[in-house]
Amino acid sequence: MRLIIYPTRRIFIVLSFFLITIGCEDNNSKESEILSIPMELIIERFDKMFHLASADDIPELKKTYPFLFPSKFNDSVWIKRQKDSLQLLLLEHVEQKFVSMAPLEDDLEYLFKHLKYYFPKTPTPRVIGVINNVDYQSKTIYTDSLLLISLDTYLGTDHHLYEGIPQYVRQEMDDKFLTSHVASKFAAKKIPPTKDRSLLSQMIYFGKQVYLKEWVLPQSSDAQKMGYTVEQIQWVIDNEVYMWQYFVQKQLLYNTDPSLAQRFIEPAPFSKFYLEIDNESPGSVGVWMGWQIIKSFMNRYPDTEINALLNLPAQTLFSKSNYKPKK
């Protein structure tokens, strides 16, 4: 049987192809413009300079990095820390992991070029690598002009020095998540905090943080954006409709019970539906669902400017999103 394409259908196919082609060209043109932004980002290896220096070098280091030397400690504390066996062990493993800083510098330049494109007033920060006793709660510290990276918290998910750290924490202790962590810190400063403590409002607030990464980290995977494994991303995709039904049927969306954030928003080994599926689920599923609501909104209003989206009230965004998980 020969396929017959009628004129109206032929016109539709040609028009669709034309629009897709134009869209791809626009995206490629925008990305080329972003990547052409002049920028040179260097990671200063304070960790290496500090631990390989002599005690006589402390005064000069304090002049160069005053923010890393709290005045309440005298020089004897720093001299002792210089030769601390744990610190030197961490430095050894950092050196083994990061033979060159170039890949990390390239990743950070990619991120900050995108941030500067969408938020032109964003300064390129001074970036400093440190060792911080594997303090995984402070993997990055970011202000407008300064970015501190605890290199000892990015040695790799399965690194033996991380034994004893919960698996859901360890899975993000890999340098492939570094730019996602920095983008989250930027987003937290850029997105107005919500006064509404309902679960829905928190879902959308943190969902905005993840959606921002679609603009500034377009090459990152969904797993990297969420801090998930590939299997965890697949789980939330497969169970989206059931999670949504649970939130609706239990009337949780407008509930302001603080425990809901612990159950569905905050990082955790799993989310707490109090069902058999709990042990299979990743933590923070509410954040992922908030992200899906925002994507639904943007599918309906694709011309929404980035700052307008970030400032849009949660309830307005939700009501206009027409969010309905597909079965």
pLDDT digits (tens, 9 = 90+) for 264-304: 999 999 999 999 889 999 999 999 999 999 999 999 999 99
Q: Are residues 129 and 256 in the same domain?
A: no
Q: Are residues 289 and 233 in the same domain?
A: yes
Q: Are residues 200 and 118 in the same domain?
A: no
Apex CA 45: angle with CA 44 and CA 50, to 5°? 125
pLDDT digits (tens, 9 = 90+) for 200-257: 999 999 999 999 999 999 999 999 999 999 999 999 999 999 999 999 999 999 999 9
Q: Are residues 47 and 146 in the same domain?
A: yes
The pLDDT score that the predictor gives to residue 24 is: 54
CA atoms within 13 A on the CB side of 301: 17
pTM of the model: 0.90
Is residue 26 scored above 90 in pLDDT? no
Is residue 19 scored above 90 in pLDDT? no
Start-end of H helices in 192-239: 199-216, 222-226, 230-238
Find the domain containing 103 and state its range: 43-189
Is residue 92 scored above 90 in pLDDT? yes
**Distance separating alpha carbons of residues 238 and 293, to the nearest angstrom:** 16
User: Is 244 buried (19+), middle (13-18) or exposed (0-12) by CB count in 10 A?
Assistant: middle
Residue 128: band (very low, low, confident or very high) from pLDDT cuts 50, 70, 90 = very high
In sequence order, what are the beta bridge partners of 127? Answer: 43, 147
Is residue 15 scored above 80 in pLDDT? no
Is residue 142 scored above 80 in pLDDT? yes
Identify the CA nearest to 318 among candidates 194, 204, 213: 204
Is residue 7 scored above 50 in pLDDT? no
Apex CA 310: angle with CA 309 and CA 315, to 5°? 75
Last residue of a domain, one of 155, 189, 223: 189
Fill in the amino acid letter for 313. P
Q: How many C-beta atoms surround the C-beta of residue 97 within 10 A?
A: 14
Last residue of a domain, one of 150, 166, 189: 189
Q: Are residues 181 and 210 in the same domain?
A: no
* SS3 category, 105: helix
Does a structural domain hold residue 314? yes
Q: Are residues 117 and 229 in the same domain?
A: no
pLDDT digits (tens, 9 = 90+) for 159-211: 999 999 999 999 999 999 999 999 999 999 999 988 899 999 999 999 999 99
The pLDDT score that the predictor gives to residue 195 is: 87
DSSP annotation string for 73-124: S-HHHHHHHHT-HHHHHHHHHHHHH-S-SHHHHHHHHHHHHHHHHHSTTPPP
The pLDDT score that the predictor gives to residue 20 is: 45
Where is average pLDDT lowest: 22-36, 242-256, 305-319? 22-36
Q: Are residues 200 and 267 in the same domain?
A: yes
Residue 29: band (very low, low, confident or very high) from pLDDT cuts 50, 70, 90 = confident
Percent of the chain with pLDDT over 70: 92
Does a structural domain hold residue 34? no
For 109-118, what is the mean pLDDT?
Answer: 98
**Distance separating alpha carbons of residues 66 and 94, to the nearest angstrom:** 23
Q: Are residues 244 and 296 in the same domain?
A: yes
The pLDDT score that the predictor gives to residue 3 is: 34
Q: Are residues 201 and 168 in the same domain?
A: no
Does a structural domain hold residue 16? no
Q: Are residues 269 and 299 in the same domain?
A: yes
Is residue 109 scored above 90 in pLDDT? yes
Last residue of a domain, one of 135, 169, 189: 189
Our count of domains for the chain comes to: 2
Is residue 6 scored above 80 in pLDDT? no
Fill in the amino acid letter for 215. W
Residue 25: band (very low, low, confident or very high) from pLDDT cuts 50, 70, 90 = low
The pLDDT score that the predictor gives to residue 99 is: 94
